[in-house]
Structure 1
Amino acid sequence: MAAGFAQWGNDLYTGRRSYDIVGRRRVWYLISAVLLVASAFLLVKPGLNPGIEFRGGTEFVIAGVEGERDQQKAIDTVQSVAPGESPEVTNLGDDSMRVQTAELTDEEGKEVADALEAAFPGSEVSRQFVGPTWGADVSRKAITGIGVFLVFVSLVMTLYFRNWRMAVAALVALAHDLVITVGVYAGIGWEVTPATVIGFLTILGYSIYDTVVVFDKVRENTADALDQTRFTYAEKANLAVNQTLVRSINTSVVALLPVGAILFVGAVVLGAGTLRDIALALFVGMLIGTFSSVFIATPIEVTLREREPKIKAHTQKVLAARAAGLVDAPDSEAIAAGSGVRPAGQLRPGSHQGQAAQPKRNKPR
């Protein structure tokens, strides 16, 4: 199986096998539009569920619970002291529970802590008040961080690629990844914690990294696009996407496996909120980031470049030559050869396959 996957990757790189990813960009745009609309709907209803760090409140941690951890028992205990409260209860580790309520007075907090200790004999209950000011400060800094990150990404990509269209395409892909990831998080209903915000910021770096690798290959393949009349700009860019496809898949699998393990352990085994919060954001973000770097970023860049007069005129010239029968429509292997990639088994000019090595002859003295 590994050999077959390696051969598939080699065929993609050499052009023996190719998928028309750029040519079918309307399909990918439609899929992304559906995902974005669904995510936007989830952000409105049910919407994000801010954690106690953002909304403020009182948190109780019941440590050393003996026997079964009955969450409903904890809820009933809190409501017996503070009627009208709707506490959120979460299991932590093997023998602990976390109870979060709205803001309580010191007296109410002490009464709830004493009631929880009585309801769970042998346990120790600690409590702390969390103000919403800290969460607001985190949100403000996160927004500032995203803004600074996007500005630097735009400047660096524009200077490196000498093409502002690649920077625009990368930013669109980043926004695409962030909106869908946040929408999925809202749909699942897990609390948004500082760890979740860290996860959202992390996926931006992962997404831009994968996109830059693809764009670097696009730049390499299209450097001489206007100096020939056999291939269009879109065809050469599509070859770049195919040549980096296996690398994108391998990178994503290697990254998703440990994140998936953390997500499973945090959500199912330990029930640890911090682990599962950041792991869910990373898992969804990396998955969507891989999709956008392959199916969104490069197609958008090609769409923008094809609006340039020189690229548009070149594309029309190539297509007209093919329609007139002056130039044959090239296959993917021919495009690869035109980009300086030799198909597997093809020798360099001047070499002779199967020719026996000639013995060296001594020069006459």
Structure 2
Amino acid sequence: MSRLGTLGARLYRGEVGYDFVGKRKIWYGISILITITAIVGLAVRGLNMGIEFKGGAVFTVEKASSISVTQAQEAAQEASGHPAIVQKLGNGSMRIQVSEVDGAKAGSVAKAIADDLKVDPKGISDEVVGPSWGEQIANKAWIGLGVFMFLVVIYLAIAFEWRMALAALIALIHDLTITVGVYALVGFEVTPGTVIGLLTILGYSLYDTVVVFDSLKEGTADITKQTRWTYSEIANRSINGTLVRSINTTVVALLPVAGLLFIGGGFLGAGMLNDISLSLFVGLAAGAYSSIFIATPLVADLKEREPQMKALRKRVLAKRAAAAAKGESLDDDSAAEGAHDEAPKATTTGGVVGQRDRGRGRPSPGKRR
């Protein structure tokens, strides 16, 4: 078995682990800082909306390998009187976008561009896009986003509980805000491809979160019938138990998306694929982060406020204090703990949770009780 596989097995059995839940205030602070940066970038720079949303004309110049982007940009701006966005495509052609150009002006602008660039006017095709089409796309995207989030909250509330549904919703908003903020900060153009990418990351963002929630639901069944572990400790074990799986699935998903973004978009001029890949790349990374550092710790915070969980924490701490005063090990007190006796007890040492698997009899790498 590989080292990563061995680590994953030890994390799953609770032999080692990291105290994610115990350090949740650090993760909350990092997320708040990143979110504020994204919101400020969105407010100051705004989104660079594509021509599909604000209307204009798109000119495609065939056999434009000898024409520089600067030359085409200057020619288009001089011919139309408006700023132009130029992108070289992988087949040697060039795409020129000019806003606020309607169908009546498109022909004359195309001819002026051809004359300036000294190319055959027949080698330039034009397409006029009205702003109403982009508005329809945006409205449908908002409707789709609202319906998706509503159904997600309802499903998670039924399958798990409302606290988990609320935490997943906050994590989703967190991921979307960061992704949109990155678009504003880097100045990438927002196109229908961007909208597709944003809607796609919603499912990816929830995937790891639901996996951890399922493990947490199983681990906290009849939790009040034992006095060995608090809810937060079991939540932390659920994160550690699925950590390697989350990392593996995220890396495998990010690699092809990175190929689209850096190779397809950066070198081949992949057009819409570039728009989709950026939103997917940022959204996948943010989703993996939020599922580990935001969603589950937030659930633990909400659950620990319940009277039952508060009472459980007091019983657990009191039992540990009594055992420590007598110099006894809690591992020796095994008969009456119920189904949760097979779960490991977390003890924090330097931020790393050392745990003991009683079923296998393996000692903790940390402090022995």
Name the TM-score, length of structure 2 as normaliser.
Answer: 0.87
Query: In the alignment, is the contact (CA less than 8 A) between 1:69 and 1:95 conserved in 2?
Result: no
Distance 2:142 2:118 in 1: 42
Shift in alpha-carbon separation, 1:269–1:208, aligned structure 2, 3 A: same
Corresponding residue number in structure 2 for 1:116: 113
Corresponding residue number in structure 2 for 1:338: 342
Corresponding residue number in structure 1 for 2:233: 235
Distance 1:151 1:106 in 2: 41
Shift of 1:188: 1.0
Alignment RMSD: 2.3
| Candidates 212, 217, 220, aligned match of 1:219 | 217
SS of aligned partner of 2:323: coil
Distance 2:256 2:188 in 1: 21
Aligned residues: 340
Shift of 1:73: 1.4
Shift of 1:115: 2.5
Shift of 1:343: 4.7
The aligned runs of 1:162-173 (5 Å cut-off) are 163-173=161-171
Corresponding residue number in structure 2 for 1:363: none
Distance 2:42 2:253 in 1: 27
Corresponding residue number in structure 1 for 2:208: 210
Distance 1:5 1:105 in 2: 58
Q: Does 2:83 align with 1:86?
A: yes
Q: Does 2:143 align with 1:129?
A: no
SS of aligned partner of 2:45: coil
Amino acid at match of 1:39: A
Distance 1:175 1:105 in 2: 37
Corresponding residue number in structure 2 for 1:358: none
Query: In the alignment, is the contact (CA less than 8 A) between 1:49 and 1:190 conserved in 2?
Result: yes
SS of aligned partner of 2:27: helix
SS of aligned partner of 1:269: coil
Distance 1:273 1:63 in 2: 15
Q: Does 2:43 align with 1:50?
A: no
Shift of 1:81: 2.7
Q: Does 2:269 align with 1:271?
A: yes
Name the TM-score, length of structure 1 as normaliser.
Answer: 0.88
Corresponding residue number in structure 1 for 2:352: none
Q: Does 2:159 align with 1:160?
A: yes
Shift of 1:323: 2.3
Distance 1:70 1:96 in 2: 11
Shift of 1:269: 1.6
The aligned runs of 1:261-340 (5 Å cut-off) are 261-325=259-323, 328=329, 338-339=342-343
Query: In the alignment, is the contact (CA less than 8 A) between 1:193 and 1:277 conserved in 2?
Result: yes
Shift of 1:186: 1.2
Distance 2:102 2:4 in 1: 62
Give the % identical residues: 47
Structure 2: unaligned runs, 5 residues or longer: 332-336, 346-355, 362-369
Distance 1:120 1:312 in 2: 78
Query: In the alignment, is the contact (CA less than 8 A) between 2:342 and 2:358 conserved in 1?
Result: no
Query: In the alignment, is the contact (CA less than 8 A) between 1:178 and 1:285 conserved in 2?
Result: yes
Shift of 1:153: 0.7
Amino acid at match of 2:92: D
TM-superposition CA deviations, 1:291-336 (whole Å, max 9, x none): 1001110000010101111111111221122223367578xxx999
SS of aligned partner of 1:324: helix
Amino acid at match of 2:135: A
Distance 1:323 1:340 in 2: 18
Amino acid at match of 2:300: V
Shift of 1:117: 2.5
Query: In the alignment, is the contact (CA less than 8 A) between 2:103 and 2:128 conserved in 1?
Result: no
Query: In the alignment, is the contact (CA less than 8 A) between 1:267 and 1:273 conserved in 2?
Result: yes
Corresponding residue number in structure 2 for 1:187: 185
The aligned runs of 1:18-29 (5 Å cut-off) are 18-29=17-28
